[in-house]
Amino acid sequence: MAGQHRILQHVAKVKRLLPLRKVAAGDQDDPPSRLPREVFPSGIKPLCSPEDSAIDIIFVHGLTGNRDKTWTAQNETEPWPQTFLSSILTTARVLTFGYDAYVADWRGMVSQNRIANHAWNLLTSLASYRENDDTALVTSRQRPERHLQNILHSTRGIIFLGTPHHGAGLARWAELLSRSIGLVKQTNSKIVEVLRRDSEVLARIQDSFHTMVMARSKEGLPPIEISCFYEELALPGVGLVVPQDSAILPGYIPIGIRGNHMDMTKFASIDDPGFVAVCGELRRWIRDMSAAERRHEKPPLSSNSDFAEQPGTANQFGYGNRMLNNFGGSQKNIEGGNYESGGGPMTIVTDVKHIYPKGNSPKTYRLIPLPRNEDVVSRTHIFTRLDALLPPTSEYQSAALYGLGGSGKTQVALEYAYRRCRDDPACSVFWVHADNETTFAQDYKAIAQTLGLNKLDGEKLLTAVCKRIESRSSWLLVLDNADDLALFGVGRTSHNTSHGQVEEPTSLYDYVPRCATGTVLWTSRDERIVGTLVGPRRGIRVGQMDPGEAKALLETSRNEKVGSEEVIDAKKLLEELQWLPLAISQAGAYLRRTSTPIREYLLMLAEGKERWRVLEATEFDRHRRRGVPNSVLETWSISIERIRLDNEMAYRIMHIIAYVNNQDIPFEIITAACLYDDGGKEGDPGENKNQVIEAVTRLKEFSFLGMRKEGKDVRSYEMHKLVQEATRYGLNMRSPEKEVYFSNAALQIMVRLFPERKREAWAECEKYIAHAVRVGDWADICKKKVEVSGLLTRVSDYLYDRGRWREKEPVDERAYELRREVLGEKHPDTIRSMANLAVTYNMQGRYDKAEPIKIETLELRREVLGEKHPDTIRSMADLAATYHAQGRYDKDDEISTKVLKLRREVLGEKHPDTIRSMADLAPTYHAQGRYDKAEPMKIEALEVRREVLGEKHPDTIRSMASLAATYHAQGRYDEDDEISTKVLELRQDILGQQHPDTLQAMHDLAITWNSRGRRNDAIALMDECLQLRRAGLGPDHPFTKESDRILNRWKAG
């Protein structure tokens, strides 16, 4: 087992009482003639010796035991360590040690060795056995005591099974029996005396043992793990041989075995709870001991030591003989019943990597191109999954980390590699950059030189490196940035030769080690790696960080905690960077280097070109590979180019949707982008369905596109905001003409998909509204400002119908800005955009801003369109509405009367705008207290609207509400209540719960209920209305304030 990192485990089984031969009456005075004594099996016997063994487990029986029978269950022919343990701990060499441990024998001489002598024999047997095996643990040049001491130094754990640390319960009885036997035959009662509870020798053994354990810690040696097993069942007629209080050591793990003292080391099946418990402890120690070794490093004893000087070496010899003598003493047992007694197995786990002499130790190679990131932010869910896929084992295993570039795959792999070095000192680690053939070959050549394969080249070198890695018993190969999977055969097809034979294309995968042992960890941006180069369940997606991890990374890279006054700004920054590790670390490094406050950095990100200047900055990071794009805007450039080469349709989709909103991208937009051509025409979605699916799949595989929603009628996607920005940045820097093309394509698609103004299309409008608004940001790039403004006007109309005034404002401002710039101040479309903006201000209750714009709009329309143009009349009506809202009813009355007259003249009596004028003038009469004129006009407007527009049209419902208000003013609360209740129900059904008109209906009905004496119902309804108005209109809107004032008055009164 040369070249193996070995962990030595001693399992010392403490003696048990074997049956004594019964003597016939009178035989004590006339003993039988001496019979030939049974030859006692002694020394070390291997039970299992795998070639790739990494640990030694030695089983040592107790007094009167047997190195085979002690561990063999009834009706079984072989001991369980051989049949069960070897199948679970596949890297364990299992040994058993025997010695003449009889304390009494009717037939002949017994060994007079003390327990210390037995312990010494065990120690020397181990040393001799190990010296003769092919691991060459020691050489003839070593002093004898040194190789003995190293067995102690490598000890890492002990399991005691029924071992009496404070004397066995039957010790006194056994001692008397052995002395009586000694009158006629050979005995060794000295051993039995030690097991008394008041034994000074046993007390000294325990004291020395604990001193040794504590001294190891003080001297920096790895600690000794200890677990104590105790019997839970009594022997019939005898009781507990070693009670729990004697079998356990304070401060260490106690575990009960459901058996008596005689059966607690004989396991009949692999499911036996006792076996499961013992095996569980051994497996836990094997997993943890290497990590503990690193925490207790010490330098070699001297510079001229024959031992390899490497991290973790410890050549101190302080407690060697004393420990092993005490180890022997702690196994003392008694003899005298029909069973073994006085203790159970003891497991000593030892790490012996430092006991290989120079020149003979297995060389460990570590070729990792990047230093360990001491401040790495642990992404617990990823490492937990990785540890589950790649547990400590000697079997071959592989896994892949895949995800968006910049998500931290390489950093996770790097941390895993260093953890593997820490936890498995015998593991060789190799790192290969797998992004192209050149880097792959260069790194393999570097490995070849390290392994001494200096004279090879080309395929012979690649093959030799692969075979040499496979020949090692413990190794890890990291293949980083395997983004071009075609290099490894993925997607390549076989072809027939001229002789009709199928020929598989060669690939770099032929040179990736695949053998019975070892670990391969891949990182890739291409999700196709899962199910091809690794199994379908062996992939881990590395995506955005969770908020806690992102905050920790920002603090680490910035080298400063987020202060209490920065919490909100830090949260905004992380949201802006979409929790992407690369973006966060770059931002943190920039903040640290420039001492820029987070708030100022946020302002920089909000300023167009300044944003790009910040995001394209590359901050030095020693944990990242040099020569590879490291800025947020450049990191995906290679992958985007690969997409172009792989699937032109996917490339087109990616660049078109870079100009829409990054969230909830409907499949219809994806399809339209996929089929868009230079002439602005689109192909048939049905004929090209498979191509669309293939293109979308390719983008998903590179994590450029993610599924957002998927259902029967809804399918939408999302794209990381920084990926969109990097895509636009790449076009701007390298191909401005394509920037124009793709931004215009996005605009044309949205112009076609966003519906015209009608209530039946509200759902479709909502699906596309965020994308229509987003394409409006690129009017300067696509050079289609007029078309952009037209699209935004349609968006504005939809938002007006839905009463979403706060969303409508920036849309109107943008449309007005574009039209004024391109069409001029006096163009009818520009004036219309002015009017829309003024209406928005009015509906927000910002009458001081609305009035001057409405006056200007009216003057411009009179000048450009004339007094009687419908748009001019509309401006007059809009201005009257502002006067009405301000309580300037006389001016409102004057203008509204003129508007009604002009519309009757120009548009006719039943035109919707004429009816609207009647409906608008009636509230003016109402506000003036002229109910006799208001009521009939309102009734007429309601009847005409029912006839022309229908019962459920918003304008018809508005007339109903207006009439109810007049009934209320006249004290006709029953009629008011009936109409107001119906108005609320209709608006909730048609406009929705949060529409401003619905909230007005709630407000009005609450007032009606209060007037009718339903105070509690009125308060509840008004309170609901107030909360919804605060959320929808804002706390400063006049309507919100009115509801608040009324509610407070009701509650107070």
SS3 583: helix
The average pLDDT across 921-929 equals 89
Bridge partners, residue 157, by sequence? 225, 349
Helices (H), ranges, 54-114: 80, 86-88
The yes or no reply on domain 366-492+503-541 and CATH 3.40.50.300 is: yes
pLDDT digits (tens, 9 = 90+) for 71-115: 888 888 889 888 887 667 766 778 888 877 654 444 444 444 555
For the entire predicted model, the pTM comes to 0.59
Q: How many CB atoms lie within 10 A of CB 304?
A: 6
Which among 711, 698, 762, 679 is positioned nearest to 954, based on CA atoms?
A: 762
The average pLDDT across 330-337 equals 31
Are the C-beta atoms of 235 and 261 separated by less than 8 Å?
Answer: yes
Question: Who's near 530: CB < 8 A, 6+ residues apart?
Answer: 400, 402, 536, 538, 539
Among 597-601, 922-926, 980-984, the range with the most confident prediction by mean pLDDT is 980-984
pLDDT digits (tens, 9 = 90+) for 176-201: 434 433 333 344 444 445 555 555 55
Segment among 183-197, 289-303, 933-947 with least mean pLDDT: 289-303
Q: Residue 949, Cα to own-chain centre: how many angstroms?
A: 56
The average pLDDT across 719-746 equals 88
Are the C-beta atoms of 347 and 59 separated by less than 8 Å?
Answer: no
Look up residue 360 and give its DSSP letter. Answer: T
- pLDDT computed for residue 576 by the predictor: 84
The Cα 156–Cα 349 span in angstroms is: 4
The Cα 340–Cα 681 span in angstroms is: 93
The average pLDDT across 384-397 equals 85
Residues 323, 327, 332: CA angle, nearest 5 degrees: 145
- pLDDT computed for residue 643 by the predictor: 86
Are the C-beta atoms of 205 and 330 separated by less than 8 Å?
Answer: yes
How would residue 495 be classed by pLDDT, with cut points 50, 70 and 90? low
Are the C-beta atoms of 352 and 53 separated by less than 8 Å?
Answer: no
The yes or no reply on domain 636-783 and CATH 1.10.760.10 is: no
Burial class (CB in 10 A: 0-12, 13-18, 19+), 319: buried
Which among 984, 1053, 987, 998 is positioned nearest to 1031, based on CA atoms?
A: 998
> What is the overall mean pLDDT for the chain?
77
Residue 33, pLDDT > 80, answer no
Are the C-beta atoms of 521 and 399 separated by less than 8 Å?
Answer: yes
More confident residue, 362 or 327: 362
* Tokens of residue 801, six digits: 């119908």
SS3 704: coil
- pLDDT computed for residue 723 by the predictor: 86
How would residue 59 be classed by pLDDT, with cut points 50, 70 and 90? confident
Phi-psi region at 664: left, alpha or beta (left = phi > 0; alpha = psi -120 to 50)? left
Burial class (CB in 10 A: 0-12, 13-18, 19+), 211: middle
pLDDT digits (tens, 9 = 90+) for 899-919: 999 999 999 888 889 988 988
Are the C-beta atoms of 414 and 373 separated by less than 8 Å?
Answer: yes
Are the C-beta atoms of 75 and 83 separated by less than 8 Å?
Answer: no
The average pLDDT across 369-396 equals 84
Distances (CA, A) of 754 to 671, 766, 783, 817, 990: 15, 9, 20, 21, 21
How would residue 211 be classed by pLDDT, with cut points 50, 70 and 90? low
More confident residue, 216 or 257: 257
- pLDDT computed for residue 361 by the predictor: 46
SS3 971: coil
How would residue 220 be classed by pLDDT, with cut points 50, 70 and 90? low
- pLDDT computed for residue 167 by the predictor: 55
Among 144-158, 311-325, 680-694, 872-886, the range with the most confident prediction by mean pLDDT is 872-886
The average pLDDT across 587-594 equals 83
Look up residue 84 and give its DSSP letter. Answer: I
pLDDT digits (tens, 9 = 90+) for 699-710: 888 888 888 766
More confident residue, 136 or 1043: 1043
Helices (H), ranges, 559-636: 567-576, 581-594, 598-605, 608-615
Are the C-beta atoms of 802 and 781 separated by less than 8 Å?
Answer: no
The Cα 875–Cα 877 span in angstroms is: 5
Residue 432, pLDDT > 90, answer yes
SS3 994: coil
| Residue whose structure tokens are 């006991």 | 355
The Cα 601–Cα 587 span in angstroms is: 9
Are the C-beta atoms of 45 and 67 separated by less than 8 Å?
Answer: yes
Residue 833, pLDDT > 60, answer yes
The average pLDDT across 210-225 equals 66
How would residue 892 be classed by pLDDT, with cut points 50, 70 and 90? very high
User: Is there a shared CATH topology between the 366-492+503-541 domain and the 636-783 domain?
Assistant: no
More confident residue, 140 or 353: 353
- Domain boundaries, given as residue ranges, for the chain: 7-21+37-355, 366-492+503-541, 547-630, 636-783
How would residue 148 be classed by pLDDT, with cut points 50, 70 and 90? low
Are the C-beta atoms of 17 and 337 separated by less than 8 Å?
Answer: yes
**785-802 helix and 805-822 helix, angle to the nearest 10 degrees:** 160
| Residue whose structure tokens are 């020691």 | 138
Helices (H), ranges, 330-436: 380-389, 409-423
SS3 813: helix
The average pLDDT across 47-61 equals 74
- pLDDT computed for residue 253 by the predictor: 76
Question: Who's near 907: CB < 8 A, 6+ residues apart?
Answer: 870, 913, 914
pLDDT digits (tens, 9 = 90+) for 949-1002: 889 999 999 999 999 999 999 999 999 999 999 999 999 999 999 999 999 999
**Sign of the Cα pseudo-torsion (560, 565, 571, 577, in order):** negative
The Cα 707–Cα 719 span in angstroms is: 9
The average pLDDT across 256-275 equals 84
More confident residue, 786 or 153: 786
| Cα atoms in the 13 Å half-sphere on the side-chain side of 1021 | 20
**Per-residue buried b or exposed e for 838-863, using 16+ beta carbons within 10 Å of the residue's own CB:** bbbbbbbbbbeebbebbebbbebbee
The enclosing H or E element of 104 equals strand 104-105
